Amino acid sequence: MTATPSWPRVLLRSEDSDHHLSVIETAPAPGVSPPLHSHAFDETFYVMEGELIFQLRDEYFTVGAGQLAFAPPAYRTPTPTSAVPRLIN
C-alpha cells in the first residue's frame, strides 16, 4: 500500500543551502492556490503534471508537464489551471 504524500513536501530547506535555494514539491488542487502574485526573488518551476499559468504585464504563459519555467521578480507567479498540477518549485 502506498502512502498518500503530504503537500507541500520540502525537499531542500533554504537554511540547508546558506539561504541560496529551497526546493518544494507541491500539488495544489484546482482553484486552491494563491492569486497571481510576485516575489522579490527568482523562482523556477518544473511542472511534473498538469499546467500552470504565469503572467508578465498583460501576457499570459501556460507551462505544461515536462516543462521548466523561470520567473524573475517581475513575473506574477503561477496559478493552477483546471488540471491538477504537480510541480517542483
Domain locations along the chain: 9-88
For residue 48, the tally of other CB atoms under 10 A from its CB is 13
Mean confidence (pLDDT) of the chain: 76
Looking up cell 495544489 gives 28
Confidence of residue 69 (pLDDT cuts 50, 70, 90): confident
Domain 9-88 has CATH 2.60.120.10: yes
Q: Tell whether pTM > 0.85.
A: no
* CA–CA distance, 14 with 71 (Å, rounded to integer): 18
